[in-house]
Amino acid sequence: MTAYVEKLGDRLIVWNGNADKRGAITPLFYTSIAAATKAAQDPKIRSVIISSQGDFFCAGGDLNALRERRNLSEIERQGKIEILHDVIRGIRACPVPVIAAVKGGAAGAGASIALACDFIVAEAGCKFTAAYVKAGLVPDGGLTASLARMIPRPLAMEMCVLARPVTAERMEALGAVNLATSRDQVMPEAHALADAIATGPRIAQGRIRAMVAQAYDQSEAAQLDVERDGMAQAAGGDEAGEGIAAFLEKRKPEFGT
């Protein structure tokens, strides 16, 4: 299979299995990500991990398919791109944190998918590449939005205008990657993040994800209102009751699911 979803305890793992083509995007990879982010509505699911079974996370779209799309109308081409954008929206709207476990590298739409996630563990030495311009194309999949949030503008321009790849170590130094590690530790470290997530309050974590996402796109005044409303809701909930009690009683909270 070119992609599938595996349920492992409290987490879902989306495997990109298109190893023969360096994890190039397939329709099944899209639908697998969409299925996992939708299935994460289940309160027993605490995180989603996206990774690859081969040596490369995702090499992006197929240029042969893009060449064929030249024969479509612009409206039809927009529809094809919206399939990817719906996947990115699904990652952003997922009720639980999404972790990218990147081996080998992430290019084009593969980089878009990785950088849309909440946490990124990457193989040291692997590269994030936005080489669209080499084919006379421009980024899609929310890549420019992600880069604008995560790295300085000059480096974003270097990646997108000059098509220069950026290593996981440089991304880590900029805070855009949580951890650059050896290949054999990529998945263990991703699972370690998932384990840490699973000990926390699921509802509060979901609210925090939404709050942080909003913070990039609106004024401080508007964000203060978001935080006011979110805090007021959280303070009256069961998670806050347990968390406050545990803190005062000097014990570990048991949030459950």
Q: How many Å separate Cα 55 from the centre of its chain?
A: 19
Residues 3, 39 contacting (CB under 8 angstroms): no
What are the tens digits of pLDDT across the range 172-197?
999 999 999 999 999 999 999 999 99
Percentage of the chain beyond pLDDT 90 is 91
Instruction: Indicate the burial class of 179 (C-beta count within 10 angstroms; 0-12, 13-18, 19 or more).
Output: middle
Please state, rounded to an integer, the average pLDDT across all residues of the chain: 95
Written as one letter, the residue type at 158 is E
What are the tens digits of pLDDT across the range 103-133?
999 999 999 999 999 999 999 999 999 999 9
pLDDT surpassing 70 at residue 27:
yes
The sign of the CA dihedral 95, 45, 141, 184 is positive
3-198 topology per CATH: 2-enoyl-CoA Hydratase; Chain A, domain 1 (3.90.226)
What are the tens digits of pLDDT across the range 208-242?
999 999 999 899 999 999 999 999 999 999 999 99
pTM over cut 0.75: yes
List helix spans (H) across 11-152. 27-39, 63-69, 74-93, 109-115, 143-150
When pLDDT is cut at 50, 70 and 90, the band that residue 257 belongs to is low
What are the tens digits of pLDDT across the range 38-88?
999 999 999 999 999 999 999 998 888 888 888 999 999 999 999 999 999
Q: Provide mean pLDDT across the span 79-98.
A: 95
Is residue 5 helix, strand or coil? strand
User: What pLDDT shows up at residue 64?
Assistant: 84
Instruction: Indicate the burial class of 226 (C-beta count within 10 angstroms; 0-12, 13-18, 19 or more).
Output: middle
